[in-house]
Each structure stands twice: as C-alpha cells, then as structure tokens.
C-alpha cells in the first residue's frame, strides 16, 4: 500500500485499533477519511497525520448506530469527490452482561454498528473498487470469532464470527477485480475497549504476554492483507490459541471458556 493517490476510510478511528490503522496507512502514504462519533478526537488525529506524514486527511463524524449514517457518509464522500480504495471496518464495542440484562434497542444498535454498517459500507464502496480494479477491505474481527462463545457480551463473538465468514465469501467473489479482503482477528489489545465495557480490572490480571499493542495489530493486519491472506489472527500467542481450540472437542472447548468467562467478560450478579 504505497500509492499516495489512494484514499482509505477508517471507521472507529478516534482511538485504539482504529487510530492505529489510520497511523499505519498514513505512514504508507495513504490519504485518510476518518469517521467516528467523537469529532474532536478525529480532528486531533487528522492534524497529527497531516503534519507527520504529509497526507491529506478528511474528517466525517458519524454515529454508525444510526441506520441512516452510512447513506449520509457515502453521500458526503461523493460530495467531496473522494474515491475510497481501502476500507477498514473497525468501529465496534461490547455490550456487557447477559443477553436479557440490556434492552433490545441496545442490542439492535450493536448489530447495526458491528454487522450491518460494515456490510453496507462494503456494498456501497465495492462497485468503485471493481471499476478501478483495485481495492482493500479489512474487516476487524476478533480471536473471539474463532473460539466458543462466552457468558456475557452475548453477541460479541457471534458478530465477529459473522465478519470472518463474510470476509471469506467477499474475498473469493472479488479476487478477479484485484480486490483483497481480510478478516483481521486480534486477541487482547491495549486500547479503551475494556475501559468502556467495564472489564479493565478483570483483564488487567491476565498475563502481559497475552497482550498486543494496537500498533502491532494494525501493522500485522495491513501486511497480511497485502500478502493476500483472507483471515489473519494477529500474534503468535493468539494463533496458538486458535490452533489449540480447533484441536479440542467442542464440548471441552466450551467448558474451558465457561470456566474462564469471568476473566474477560463482564458478568451479571446471580
């Protein structure tokens, strides 16, 4: 990814993994469109990227929980005459507690952000990529999409497993157009995610060797996409965990996750 004429759109770019992907792409010469809810953070990051890397950087604040947000965002891209060749579907969060602990409206917003928005953005931007015979779509999934579901954060692993399968099909459909699609699957990553969902105290007790920085995840993710990998689990430890889970009988894997859920998922009081 070195063609400076290419524009990349990064969702959830205001912090964490999204901001790291924006920095990584800017360092490789891409112009950026940054989107998230917090415009002040986006403007700060945009200023940093312009100054450090000399790239163009546009800000388009949006709340992807709004079903109308993608249409408005794509219209804004058209108004600014920006052709997106690299899409990083990163926006996401977790809904803590058990399934019935939250109102359905909150679950519906979660699905809108983590499932519907990435699919709609890919649908809206793919025709241009196909026409230009170049494109990259990075769907930020998770190691959670490869292991059994846990108690708490009920739809998180399910949404990430969906992104993995979606990425596989999309990649196979678009190879002939010079488009590469990759589901990037981080494990535990230093970011604001665990602070937002309230699991920071629990996950901080986990060994340091299980963690990666957001910068490492972004660098691995971009490199894997360029190599043509369709699914990439970041980090040797996470790849070992995935391999081990695949070898275990389903019941044993589920029992392990059941015993350890409290270490990384917010639980409800019984």
Query: Mean pLDDT per segment of 10 residues, for the chain of length 270 residues?
Result: 75 97 98 97 98 97 98 98 98 94 97 98 98 98 93 94 98 98 93 49 62 95 98 96 87 74 52
User: What residue numbers bound the domain in which 166 lies?
Assistant: 7-263
The pLDDT of residue 113:
98
Q: Which two tokens stand for residue 105?
A: 């409206």
Which of 121, 123, 161, 155 lies closest to 142 in space, CA to CA? 161
The pLDDT of residue 235:
94
- Contact call for residues 227 and 54 (beta carbons, < 8 A): no
CATH number reported for the structural domain that contains residue 91 in this entry: 3.40.50.720
In a domain, 235, yes or no: yes
DSSP-assigned letter for residue 112: I
Active site residues: 156, 160
- How does DSSP assign 195-248, residue by residue? HHHT-HHHHTTS-GGGEEEHHHHHHHHHHHHHHT-SEEE-SHHHHHHHHHHHHS
The pLDDT of residue 194:
43
The pLDDT of residue 210:
76
Q: Which two tokens stand for residue 193?
A: 């995610």
Q: Determine the Cα–Cα distance for residues 186 and 239; give it in Å rounded to an integer.
A: 10
The number of folded domains in the chain is 1
Entry pTM:
0.89
In a domain, 78, yes or no: yes
In a domain, 269, yes or no: no
In a domain, 268, yes or no: no
Q: Determine the Cα–Cα distance for residues 75 and 81; give it in Å rounded to an integer.
A: 10
In a domain, 1, yes or no: no
């Amino acid at each position: 990814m070195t063609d400076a004429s290419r524009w990349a759109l990064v969702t959830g770019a205001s912090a964490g993994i999204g901001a790291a992907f924006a920095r990584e792409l800017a360092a490789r010469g891409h112009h950026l469109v940054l989107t998230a809810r917090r415009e002040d953070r986006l403007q700060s990051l945009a200023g940093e990227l312009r100054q450090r890397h000399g790239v163009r950087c546009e800000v388009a604040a949006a709340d992807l929980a709004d079903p109308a947000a993608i249409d408005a965002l794509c219209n804004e891209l058209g108004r600014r005459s920006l052709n997106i060749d690299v899409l990083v579907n990163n926006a996401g969060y977790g809904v803590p507690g058990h399934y019935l602990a939250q109102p359905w409206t909150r679950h519906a917003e979660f699905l809108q952000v983590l499932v519907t928005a990435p699919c709609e953005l890919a649908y809206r931007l793919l025709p241009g990529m196909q026409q230009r015979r170049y494109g990259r779509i990075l769907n930020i999934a998770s190691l959670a999409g490869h292991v059994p579901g846990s108690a708490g954060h009920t739809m998180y692993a399910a949404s990430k497993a969906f992104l993995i399968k979606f990425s596989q099909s999309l990649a196979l459909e678009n190879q002939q157009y010079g488009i590469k699609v990759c589901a990037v699957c981080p494990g535990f990553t230093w970011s604001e995610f665990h602070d937002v969902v309230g699991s920071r105290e629990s996950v901080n007790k986990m060994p340091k060797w299980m963690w990666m920085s957001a910068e490492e995840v972004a660098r691995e993710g971009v490199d894997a996409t360029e190599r043509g990998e369709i699914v990439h689990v970041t980090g040797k430890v996470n790849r070992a965990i995935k391999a081990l889970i695949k070898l275990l009988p389903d019941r044993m894997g589920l029992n392990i996750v059941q015993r350890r859920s409290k270490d990384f998922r917010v639980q409800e009081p019984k």
